[in-house]
Chains A and B, each alone.
Chain A
């Protein structure tokens, strides 16, 4: 089942040194197989990419790592210890921060309130215990500057930032709060080329800061730019698992697109040459049940 990477025996007592490791993990919703036999390793300072089309099981995988769902079979190890997460809060406490594509922020709230939401620093005591607003503002500005975002006004509603900047705020936030593992759900999906590049830079910055990153995407080009390991999902099962040196971008793109499906698509579209950026979106009908 597992692909052609990660020399065996890695699961024993975290000998692999992986921050997070999934070993043959499965998840069923009633009689629907959402995910079956998926294995994944996330190392400190490494980026593990999960690639798959819509309905391939990417979001189920995220939800298991983020603590929203529990896996039904297989092992979920955090720093070598078998775990079943009960809640997103527990995942956060264990150092796993998830940045969702659409629900990363509260649009009408100022940037600095969003940055500290859920973990607000306070000063004073008793009934006068209050938010340390000066610290919150300053930290937000400094942390964002470190990620390369120069905000004049951290009081502006975060909804007025661009999509890429919002992703970056969410990433900067996870880094600041000491996440060891960063799970990014399609961070570049809704973004233009330039914005995607900016976000990928921050992903790389987080990696260089020593975090383990799980990058979920359906864009093999983005994945190959920053990733060290690639896990391909198709209809809930793992269709491939590679390290960067064992696969080329073309091969990754071909596998991602599903080889024959892509050929079929190219046949369907033969009157026009296939633009390369469509590689990730085989038009061969919906992916069916998860």
Chain B
């Protein structure tokens, strides 16, 4: 192994061919190469915009509200971003949150069990949805768009159909007076006061998920595999990366976070509306894309998805503070998506061209 590699100076072509690439990387260049840069610039712009047009936007209490709105999206944007880096979509992510809440609530109510039993059953059922998505995808080799569109429609139907069948209405029965409810609410939907600002516990969940996901992506073997299966699945397979397991695990990650979001949905009130969640899957995807995830896979970050979710939170609440008609929200979100994607593409091109 040690023997006779050609010495460097044997290669006269090197200096001329390599120089431009070997120019010193300035810290600014490094920063430009980060996947989340575009979204940070976008977030600053949105912040300044609403700080200017809405007086109450800069109050500390507003900050808590904005963060809460961001966290409910952010909790799901994290695993959706990881999945997108791994090269796949999950259109069922939005209704899966509702399904998870419904399972938890109805199981506890029907069995008159401690709500924690329902919460655990819901975890297993939701993870099973994720496994279903992952296994269907890897077995059939159909595009994830089709597979999860199917799951999305089936779950939407099941949510409404089963709820009506069991409860006779479109919402579940209240489980507010059942055993275990207060402790479960504490975990999933409590409120803390930090320095006079009221913060929902979902913000902690969100921060924790972003930290764990970042750790996984950048510092674990599994993270390396996520980038690889999204970036070039054939190369990944050829060097022995377990492609199928990686993809199934990513779908289970989405399911796990759908469970957290679902339990929050249930325990912030004590009933669940069975028609909720439709359309949210796109918002998660938008947050991930605004955050710099490449829609074709292989590139992105968990922190970027958090910034994307934060932009979402600022826009949805900023419009309220500016006392505009909330109908404008979707317009802003769409414009933001286009701008952010263009900015990301431009930044990445520059970063790669000037390396």
Which A residues are closer than 8 A to B by beta carbons? 66, 88-89, 92, 98, 100, 103-109, 113, 116-120, 122, 129-131, 133, 145-148, 150, 152-153, 156-157, 159-160, 162, 175-176, 178, 194, 198, 201-202, 205, 208-210
Contact = CB atoms under 8 A, between A and B. Distances in A.
Given A113-B224, A153-B25, 4 more contacts: A108-B231, A117-B241, A156-B21, A202-B5
A146 B228 contact: no
A39 to B, nearest CB: 26
Contacts, number: 117
B228 A106 contact: yes
Contacts of B239: 92, 117-119
Contacts of B11: 148, 198
A242 B297 CA distance: 46
Interface of B: 1-8, 10-11, 13-14, 17-18, 21-22, 25, 215, 219-221, 223-224, 227-228, 231-232, 234-241, 294, 298-299, 352, 355
B286 to A, nearest CB: 22
Contact of A89 (B224, B228, B240): B240
A174 to B, nearest CB: 10
A106 B221 CA distance: 15
Nearest to A104: B235
9 contacts: A106-B227, A106-B236, A107-B298, A109-B228, A130-B215, A131-B220, A146-B2, A150-B14, A202-B6
Contact of A108 (B6, B240, B299): B299
Contacts of A113: 224, 227-228
Main secondary structure of the interface of B (DSSP, over half): helix
B237 A117 contact: no
B232 A106 contact: yes
A131 B219 contact: yes
A152 B224 contact: no
B355 A148 contact: no
B345 to A, nearest CB: 14
B42 to A, nearest CB: 22
B25 A131 contact: no
A107 B231 contact: yes
A130 to B, nearest CB: 4
A118 B236 contact: yes
Contacts of A92: 239-240
Contacts of B5: 146-148, 202, 205
Q: Counting chain A CB atoms within 10 Å of each CB, which of B10, B232, B234, B355 scores highest? A: B232
Nearest to A133: B219
A118 B240 CA distance: 5
Nearest to B297: A108
B219 A119 contact: no
A76 to B, nearest CB: 19
A95 B164 CA distance: 60
B3 A208 contact: yes
A6 to B, nearest CB: 26
Given A109-B227, A131-B220, A194 B21 contact: no
